[in-house]
Amino acid sequence: MSHPDTKQHWSLESLTKAYQQGYMAGLAGHAAETLPFANSIPAAAWEAGWVDGEGQRRLSAEKLNRTPGNAPGAKKRA
């Protein structure tokens, strides 16, 4: 079984960098279409980072939107 990318090698360092760039892009709210890699392996690392960063951005936004009066199950004072 041969792979089309057999002549191309990526180091762990370069894939980690691609992941980190994707994470920061997702965290900053950039669209996934801003993918800066054409090759499939670094692109997959970047996209995985973007997914994780976007998820963290959403969690952070949810925490910011929660105030003691808006928390689920909180009783309103009269």
pLDDT value for 6: 47
28-71 confidence digits (pLDDT tens): 999 999 888 888 999 999 999 999 999 999 999 888 887 665 55
pTM reported for the whole predicted model: 0.71
Helices (H), the chain: 12-27, 40-65
How is residue 25 written in tokens?
A: 């892009």
How is residue 53 written in tokens?
A: 């960063």
